[in-house]
Every structure is written in C-alpha cells, then in structure tokens.
Homo-oligomer: A and B are copies of this chain.
Amino acid sequence: MNKNKKGFVLWFTGLSGAGKSTIADGVFEVLKTNGIKIERLDGDVVRENLTKSLGFTKEDRDENIRRIGFVANLLSRNEVGVIASFISPYQKQREELQRNVNNYIEIYVNASLEVCEARDPKGLYKKARKGEIKNFTGISDPYDEPQNPALELRTDKATPEECIAEVINFISKKIYS
C-alpha cells in the first residue's frame, strides 16, 4: 500500500448489530499496521470525550453527529485518516457530513433489521421491544437507508474478514493509488 498523505473519513453507517464496529476496528488495525496516520472515532470514545450529556432525541443525535463531523474534518484536512462508526440514521445528517467533511467516504454496513435483531449482541433490541429503550433506531426511530454510499457491505452474506478486505481494497484504489 502506497502511503500518500491524503486525509479521509471512512464513515460506517448502519443499524445496531449490523457489524459496523467489528469491521471498522478491523480496517483501523490494517491501516495502523501499515503505518498510516489514522484515528478511530466510535461511540465510546466520543461519548466520553465529546458528547457527554447528549441524549437520543433527534436534536441531540443531530448535534452528536455534527460534532463528530467537525472533529473528523479537522483531522482529515490535516492529512489524517479517520475511521468513524455511528448508526447515523438520518439522511439529512449524512448529507451534511458529505458537504462539510473533507474527503467523506460513506460505507453502508447493511444487514436487515431481522438479522440485526436476531444477533442482538448487546441485548438492546430486546430492551427496545419492551420499551425500556426509547428512540431506538429500527424499532421506534427510523433508519434512512443511504441513497448513494461509496461502498455497501452486506454483512448478512459476507464474513467480517471479507468485508474488511473489501474496504481495504476499496480505499487502496480510491485513496492510495
């Protein structure tokens, strides 16, 4: 992989349980191992450091994504790669990212709601169905399917390793060729 100096933001969007974090972590490790300047922004990092006190109303979710986009853009325009994984359910949010974030690359991590709910790795769908979690994407809050993602991964048909390889292959061509 030819390391040039272009910054970018790989933005993984999709339902809870679709496999965003697993794939994003894998891509991050490959790039890091290849000596590429790269930062990982995920829910835990961001809630702790950027968006404490924001909740799950539409307004707070918008502000949450906007704030992450601001930081991602600061890094990207300074030639740092960013791996971001957030449900980011609204088309409008993602259009705003597309406009405002340097070299924004949208990756749709796609598995059907049924598959995600069957996986339910953190038991969140179960809680959402019982009404214990409100505004839960896919159950009680909408997920707008990406209209024109740079890449779509079908995690119900391919393994995480295959998906990671697909992303690496994609950005090798797009960014590092």
Contact = CB atoms under 8 A, between A and B. Distances in A.
Interface of A: 37, 39, 49-50, 52-53, 63, 66-67, 70-71, 74-75, 78-80
Q: Which of A37, A63, A78 has the most CB of B within 10 A?
A: A78
Contacts of A67: 49-50
Contact of A70 (B49, B63, B78): B49
Contacts of A70: 49-50
A70 B67 CA distance: 13
Contact of A53 (B53, B74, B79): B53
Given A78-B78, A80-B78, A63 B52 contact: yes
Contacts of A66: 49
A57 to B, nearest CB: 13
Contact of A74 (B63, B71, B79): B71
Contact of A75 (B53, B63, B75): B75
